[in-house]
Each structure stands twice: as structure tokens, then as C-alpha cells.
Chains A and B, each alone.
Chain A
Amino acid sequence: MNLQTERFKEIARENLANEEQRKILSQFSLILKALRDSSFAALPDENAALEKGRKIREDSVKNMPYLLETFEENATKAGANVVWASDARQANDFIVSLAKEKGANLCVKAKSMISEEIGLREELTDGGIETYETDLGEFIVQQAGKTPFHIVGPAINMTIKEISNLFNKTIGVPKTEDPTELAISARMFLRDKFKNAQIGISGANMAVAETGSIILVENEGNIRFATSVPKTHIVLMSIEKVVPTMSDATHMLKLLTRSCTGQRISNYVSVITGPKKAGEIDGPEELYIVILDNGRTKIYSDEVLRGALQCIKCGMCAAVCPVYTHVGGYAYGWVYSGPIGAVLNPLLLGLDRARDLYHATTLCGACKDYCPAGVDVRNIALDLRAKEMDGDKSFNASNPPVGLKRLYRIWTWVLLHHSRYKIASRLMRIIMLPAIKYGKISRLPGRLSGWTQCRDIPQLPPKSFHEIYSELKK
């Protein structure tokens, strides 16, 4: 996947200028939020349900290695082959050579973020195995040669006309303005692939330790096909997908679909435990489960950052984020977009390669309020910024600009002592005076001008609270 995290500002600016896209984005987030809210309101006690979900994810992450062991044991008992991969290279190589070993030339893929993360589709294609995304949104994105615009709606930014032109060009169907006809064209095209594919690849929404099951959530039925028709089903999951019990999983399921699309449940939920059993006509003969680390054990070693691993990839944080709903998904430059992408992309790629992402948050915390898995993106973003300033290189933070670092040091020194703070605020009142017009500063000079580009600095009041308070006490 083309990595563009270093171009955040540039791409964000481009996308901000795209009026049509901003209209789609604001509609999308409004609709999604309304659907989400009403589906949550239908729960007997939505706050208790959210709390429970957050606790389940927190405990699952805390207990991850032990849950993975139980999961592996039970999945193996059910007949699955569990394989462990440390990084993208290993996982890709394993899957491509397995597919070749099986003599496969056609592979159908379910939507999976982790496969995007390691670029599995491209690897399979390069290995001579024709590979198709089968989720309609992902199929469109693949045909267009783009990256997903949103975790759940990969092509929501594309208009019907764009998709019609695209399908006309790539799969040779007549142009149409009817979304149903477009969907049918994709259906017909992909049915043929489902029928003939030898390999089906899926991710996992959850892995249940208690039973060794994989849970897959979808609406279209493409995952059911990809996991039922091909002789070999390969599950690619990252280590944090595991939850303790089926009842924990179904609780998370309620929160996941509500947060994803505002549905009380998705149209299809598949619970897969091992390959097909003796005497069964369909279903895969072999089930491989590839458990992938790809940088997560390192994230796990940091008490604050490991919170990011609680994420269940519902995409709700993007819909409520004031940054995402303006700049859109492309600016995040890699697989994960929105608030979770703003911290996960830097953590997985190295802070130096995605520095703008965790700085481009308003710290409003809407993502945390809506998160069904208890991820505190704001806190993680702040921690990443602090790591950068402290020169903590554990996640490859780049060196902050010398001036900025010095400024923060002075700032900290001033704020750490009351008397210094008092003197400084008095001084500020005087320094600010010449720049004030109509009770505010609208333009700062030189390198400080960025601050006032989109906002004013209000004039400091003549007296501080402390000054007024001590006067009144007298």
C-alpha cells in the first residue's frame, strides 16, 4: 500500500478544497451518528452496555497472551492449523506460498483491515494468484486503485457517476445512474469468482478463546461465500482480536454493529469453528489461522499506548471527529483513518513517519465518548507528543524543532511555580497590548502567525481570578 502519512498536511489541504466531498462527509457523519444513537437507545441500558464492552476489551487486552494460548488450543482441537507470524513479510510469504502449494490461481478476499496493513492482496497478485476483494466497497476501491476512504465505508466518498465510469472501464458493463444496477454488475462478476476460487481469505472481527471460534460480521454475504466455497480458508488476524468467551463476543457484537452502521445486528454473523467436519458437503477442507504481531507486542509493552489495541475497528470515532469529517480519510495516508488512525498509523509505522497525524487532533475527546471499546485516543495522542518532546525514541520519534523544545521548556518552568506564573501573566498583559484590536489579537507576526490563521487570541482581562479573589478577601 502506498504510504503517504508524511504528506498529511498537503493531502488534508487538497481534500479541504473538495466541496463535493465535504458535503458527502458531513451527510455521512450525521446519518451515521443518528443511526448509531437510535440503535444504542434501543438497548435496555446503553451506558451499562458501553461500560461492560469497554471493560471486556480492557481485560481482553490485559490478559492477551493467556487468551491467545486458550484460543490456539481450542482452534487446534476443532481442526484448524494455527500459525504465528511476527511481521508483514512473514505473513505474506506464508500465505502466498501456501496458496501456491495448493495450486491456486484464484483467491477471493473478505474485507480485512489487517490484510490492507500488510498489503496481502498485492503480494498474492504478484505471486501470480488472481485476487479479488469481494466486499462491494473494497471491490470498487480495488478497481479504482485507491485506498479505503473509511474503515467501514471504503468508497463512501465516490459518486454514483464515478463508480459507473469505473465499472464501465474495468469490468465492461454499460454506464448507469442506478446504484442497484451497479451492485448487480459487481454481484455477477464476483459470483463467478466465488464459484471458482480455491482460496478464501478473511480477517476476524473476534476470536473466541473459550471455543476457538472466529466471528465474522458483514451485510453482503461475500464473507459467507469466501469462507464456504473455496477448499482452503485462511484467516488472518492480529493478536489483539481475542476475547475470553462467546458471551463476551456477543456483547461486543451488539456494540460493534451499532457503532459501525447503526444496525442492531449485521445481516450476517458467521461463527466459524474449525474446517468442515466429516460428512459435510460444503465449507473449507482446511482452515488456517495466521496470528500476526506486526509491531503490536511493542505497543503492548507501553501501559498507555496499549489502549490502542482495544480498538474493534468500528469506525465510529471517524464519524464524530471534527478533523476527519473535514479532511476525510485520504489525509491519514495509510490503512487506518480517523482518530484511531491518527495514533495507530504512527505506532505501527514509527512516529517519525506519521508525525502530523497525532498533532492534527483537537483533543476534543468525542472519539473517546463514542468508543465502544474504551480507547482513549486523546490521551494516547498526548502521550505520543510527550514522547517526541522527551526524546523518547522507543517508537522512532523524530527530534522536535529546537526552538519549539526550548519554548516548551520555558513554558513548563513558568507554569511549575505560582509566583513565576503570576509574573508571567502580568507581563503578557503588557506585551500583548500593542497587538490588540477590538479586544483580541487577530494576527501574530512571523513564525507565530500560524496560531492566528484560523482563530483569535482574546485579550487577557485586567485582573486575574487570583487577584480579584485576594482583593475580595480583604
Chain B
Amino acid sequence: MDSASNREIILDSLKRFAIKPEGPVKSELVKTKIDDLDALYESFAQGVTAAGGTVHRVKDMKEALEALDTILKELEVSTVVISEDKMIKLVGIKDYLKGKDIKILAISKDPARHKKTCFSADAGITGADYALADTGTIMIYHGKDNARLISLAPPTHIAFVEADKLLPDIDTLIAEIKPSNKSMPSAMTLITGPSLTADIALQPTFGMHGPKNLYVIFI
């Protein structure tokens, strides 16, 4: 197959009939206007819950750790894999869990071992970079310090997000991150609730391939 000549043929034949539009499609949409954190949080929590997830709103890092403890106990989690992002360090999760009866599976730089770790852990703990109020979504930039499988392979995903990262909706998110070729991470994931399927007789089932449980700890 000659990709370069295919390219030329495809683009040339399209260009014969293409019409350049006058400009970007302008939006005359009503913007959601909520500045009040409580109202935003209410909407966020509703969204997460409607999608099958659970939210804990906490005042500070100390309460965040307590909330984590409760969740881990409730689910009888014995092994966790933890990302290395800012949020995780800020909350001090690793130090806190060291004193507990929970085994932290070390993150390996070796892809094969990393895969094994994530597929075997009971829970994955990560930070989230943003939260969207109107849909109850968290957004994660995957990268060096927040590997993709931590929030995907274990049956439970626990995510920490700070209140100042809560935005009204996806439009505000795009305005905030100003996407460009350079600024985009290799993968960015929007997560709304745990993994879901309704492919068998339209019956909703959680934990199809990804986590069965999603907990968001909102600080």
C-alpha cells in the first residue's frame, strides 16, 4: 500500500468539492452560571451518584484520610496501588497507609510488572485533575505520575480531588486547559461513575471491564 499516493488521491478528490466555512461555529448557547461552590458540589455529587459512584465531601486532608480509611475497611481492601501525582503527595496517603494493615504494591517502572500489579490490586488510588459539576465527572491527565491502569484495572477506584478543581461543565474545562497539540497529554480520561454495561437485555451491570466501585473524595 502506498500511503503517500493514497493521501494525495483522497485529499485531491475531496478538495475539488470542499467549501471552506466562514469561520468557527459560533455558540449562542446559554452558559451555565453557578459560582456558588455548594451548588456546584450538589450538582457534582448528584452526577456521580446517578452514575453509580459514591462521593465523600471532606474539610481537610485529615478528614480525607479518614474517609479513605472507612472505604478501605468497608470493602475489606488488603492491597492497593497508588499513583504518584501531586494530589496523592499532598494528602500524604502513602505515609498514612504505612501504619495500617494494608499492603501498598510498589509501582514498577517495568511495564510487565506494572501490569501485573494493577491487575492484582484490590483498589487503585489516584488524584484527579479536574471535576465537572454538571455531569459528575472527574478528569485525569495520565502521565508519568498517574499511570493509566491504576484507575482502570483494580475493582475499586478511589480518587481525590480538590474543591478549587471543580468546574461547572466540560466547556469551562476546555476554556481552562486551552487544548493544543503541545499541551495535550498522551491520554486524558473523563470518568463518570464506575464501569457500566447494559448490553444484556438492557439490564445495567457495574464493573464490566473497569472498576465496579468508584469513590470520589472531594476536599
Contacts and interface: CB of A to CB of B under 8 A. Distances in A.
Interface of A: 27-28, 31, 44-45, 48-49, 52, 55-56, 59, 62-66, 68-69, 72, 74, 77-78, 83-86, 90, 93-94, 134-137, 140, 153-156, 158-160, 163, 179-180, 182-184, 186-187, 190-191, 194-195, 208, 210-213, 219-222, 224-225, 227-229, 239, 244-248, 250-251, 253-254, 261, 264-277, 279-283, 291, 293, 297, 300-301, 303, 306
B11 interface: yes
Contact of A281 (B1, B9, B27, B107): B107
20 contacts: A65-B10, A65-B18, A85-B6, A86-B6, A93-B1, A94-B1, A158-B200, A163-B200, A219-B198, A221-B209, A222-B208, A229-B115, A250-B170, A250-B174, A251-B171, A267-B194, A281-B108, A281-B144, A282-B147, A283-B142
B194 to A, nearest CB: 7
B20 to A, nearest CB: 6
A137 B202 CA distance: 10
B109 to A, nearest CB: 6
B181 A211 contact: yes
Given A195-B119, A282-B149, A275 B17 contact: no
Contacts of B98: none
B201 A159 contact: yes
Contacts of B25: 52, 55-56, 59, 248
B21 interface: yes
B208 A272 contact: no
B181 A183 contact: no
B14 A136 contact: no
Interface residues of B, number: 80
Contacts of A160: 200-201
A44 B30 contact: yes
Contact of A134 (B148, B174, B209): B209
A276 B144 CA distance: 9
Given A187-B209, A221-B209, A156 B202 contact: yes
Contact of A254 (B9, B13, B28, B170): B170
Interface of B: 1, 3-4, 6-7, 9-11, 13-21, 24-25, 27-32, 47, 51, 107-109, 111, 114-115, 118-119, 134-135, 137, 142-144, 147-149, 152-153, 170-171, 173-175, 179-181, 184-203, 205, 207-211
A63 B137 contact: no
Nearest to B194: A267
Contact of B181 (A77, A186, A269): A77
A63 B19 contact: yes
Contacts of A195: 115, 119
B30 to A, nearest CB: 4
A28 B192 CA distance: 24
